[in-house]
Amino acid sequence: MATLIGDLIVGIFEFLLWALLELLPVICYFTAIVLVFAVTLGRVTVEYPKNSANSYWSWRKVVHGRTILSPALGTIIGFSFWAIVVALTIIVYQYSHA
């Protein structure tokens, strides 16, 4: 019985880890869409390019003056934002309880 409960707990933790690792790029991508658009006041946006054969890690300028970043760069920007938020949260928590 104890091994059954232990296996169930391990299975739940594995499922939560899998869900987190699958959802993390999606969360970072949508964060980058909102964050980049808001910070640059609409001059830069994160979109899938029309010709995705050679522009996976790139940005390009459009006729209307808007720069388009690739989804991969957007995901990196979103991940960097959340990494900074988590780091600052840990730092503020440590200094407030010291």
Phi-psi region of 69 (alpha: psi -120 to 50; beta: other; left: phi over 0): beta
Q: Where are the beta strands (DSSP E) in 10-56?
A: 44-46
Count up the domains in the chain and report the number: 1
Domain span holding position 66? 2-96
CB-CB neighbours of 49 under 10 Å: 16
The pTM of this model reads 0.74
pLDDT given for residue 17 in this prediction: 93
pLDDT in tens, 15-65: 999 998 899 999 999 999 999 999 998 888 888 766 655 555 666 767 677
pLDDT (0 to 100) of residue 14: 94
